[in-house]
Amino acid sequence: MYNARERYQMQESMAASGDDDMTELAISSLPLETRCPPYPLRQHGGFWFSEPFLPAVAAARARFEARTSDVLLASFPKSGTTWLKALAFATLHRTDNPTLSLDHPLRRRNPHDCVEFLEEAFASLSPEDSGGDVLAGLPSPRLLATHLPYTHLPKSVTAAEGTGCKIVYICRDPKDALVSKWLFTKKKLAFAAVDDNPPKPYPIDEMFELFCDGRCTCGPQWHHVLGYWEASRRQPEKVLFLRYEEMLRDPAGSVRKLAEFMGCAFSGEEEAAGVAEDVVELCSMDTLKNMEVNKNGTQNYVKNEAFFRKGVVGDWSNHMTPAMAARLDKIVEDALQGSGFAFGATAESA
């Protein structure tokens, strides 16, 4: 009998060596889960993916050509992606876009419109598509994002030392990610609903059971986190592992760490002028939430305001019972046993 950790390692090596046949026929043979709205999920290499995105995952894996100057922001959904996109964008592009400029792109565009998801870029292939890297036209340094597990990243990203690109991962307590995802999904369903066909009620228990079984987009969440954490241990110069909770505690320190990792540390002059603090302020929940584009703009599947809710630690306790929390904590603890990683630990201690 294999323990949870050994099962994860087997799945990981399956995904690494697994074939990327994502034709309709191949997809239809993968394990199916239909209880996670809005899309059916399929399991591949130990993780669950939204079925409609699988061909794009395969295309991104095969065709994206990483540059050493690229920075890829990676996360399990609802772990602080929007915030990280804003912070990384404001930091990396501060020469062209001064942080205090009233015309800063983050004042006009949602962070998701400033930093594109890799898998979404490859999902919108046109009939004239020539089969190459659809992001090749973007100037360097490219800042991109992904929700893909480490095992499913494009091969050029995880390539051997000296090639590939930098990755910044943001991790969040699974209970808070779950609650955030549940409330976001309800907003997404309401956005897609039409007056004479309102969304069905979606109690948290339905999502909780599936989440505990790893059945959610890019789940199991704890395996997603573990894959990047292990990569950050193997190659700390290539993978920066951040924790949402620590970033909330020390946002300016986190921005400095991010800047240094991306190769654009703040100069003495910038430090004296308080630029890191300005980045934090520009990207804070209050500032972003109150921008016109984030109050009234939309993505094609949800209103922008849905990305900015509370942004705190521990909101799970307002939606989950202590028994639910204890059950999920135990599942996660068992799955991570022997890995050296723990949620709630500090970056240094885990």
Residues with a catalytic annotation lie at 147
> How far apart (Å, rounded) are the C-alpha atoms in residues 124 and 175?
32
Q: At closest approach, how far in Å is the CB of 233 from ligand PAP?
A: 23
Q: At closest approach, how far in Å is the CB of 178 from ligand PAP?
A: 10
- Taking alpha carbons only, the member of 210, 182, 216, 239 closest to residue 76 is 216
150 binds ligand PAP (CB under 6 A): no
CA dihedral angle for residue 34, residue 40, residue 45, residue 47, rounded to 10 degrees:
-80
Report the site for ligand PAP in 173-232 (rule: CB under 6 A).
176, 180, 183
Q: At closest approach, how far in Å is the CB of 24 from ligand PAP?
A: 27
81 binds ligand PAP (CB under 6 A): yes
Near ligand PAP by CB under 6 A: residue from 125, 190, 285, 325: 285
- Please state whether the peptide bond connecting residue 220 to the residue before it is cis, i.e. omega within 30 degrees of 0: yes
DSSP one-letter code for 25: H
> How far apart (Å, rounded) are the C-alpha atoms in residues 79 and 171?
6
82 binds ligand PAP (CB under 6 A): yes
9 binds ligand PAP (CB under 6 A): no
> How far apart (Å, rounded) are the C-alpha atoms in residues 81 and 104?
20
Q: Toward ligand PAP, which CB reaches closer, 54 or 288? A: 288
Near ligand PAP by CB under 6 A: residue from 45, 80, 214, 220: 80
Q: Work out whether strand 143-146 and strand 71-75 pair parallel, antiparallel, or are unpaired.
A: parallel
Q: How far is CA 169 from the centre of its chain?
A: 8
Report the site for ligand PAP in 37-76 (rule: CB under 6 A).
75
- Taking alpha carbons only, the member of 277, 281, 301 closest to residue 290 is 281
Q: Toward ligand PAP, which CB reaches closer, 31 or 253? A: 253
Backbone angles phi, psi at 166, to 5 degrees: -80, 145
Of the candidate spans 16-24, 228-236, 257-265, 305-313, the one that interacts with ligand PAP by CB under 6 A turns out to be 305-313
Q: Toward ligand PAP, which CB reaches closer, 266 or 316? A: 316
Residues in the chain: 350
> How far apart (Å, rounded) are the C-alpha atoms in residues 253 and 249?
9
Near ligand PAP by CB under 6 A: residue from 198, 310, 321, 345: 310
Backbone CA torsion sign across 105, 109, 110, 113:
negative
Q: Toward ligand PAP, which CB reaches closer, 65 or 305? A: 305
> How far apart (Å, rounded) are the C-alpha atoms in residues 280 and 287?
10
Of the candidate spans 126-134, 278-286, 293-301, 318-326, the one that interacts with ligand PAP by CB under 6 A turns out to be 278-286
Q: Toward ligand PAP, which CB reaches closer, 82 or 156? A: 82
Near ligand PAP by CB under 6 A: residue from 48, 83, 228, 229: 83
288 binds ligand PAP (CB under 6 A): yes
Q: Toward ligand PAP, which CB reaches closer, 217 or 339? A: 217
CA dihedral angle for residue 72, residue 78, residue 83, residue 86, rounded to 10 degrees:
50
Q: At closest approach, how far in Å is the CB of 176 from ligand PAP?
A: 6
**Buried b / exposed e across 28-50, counting CB within 10 Å, b at 16+?**
eebeebeebbeeebbbbbbbbbb
Of the candidate spans 36-44, 59-67, 306-314, 322-330, the one that interacts with ligand PAP by CB under 6 A turns out to be 306-314
Binding residues for ligand PAP, rule CB under 6 A, total: 21
Which residue, judged by CB position, is nearest to ligand PAP in the bound state?
Answer: 311
Binding site for ligand PAP (CB under 6 A): 75, 77-83, 176, 180, 183, 283-285, 288, 307-311, 315
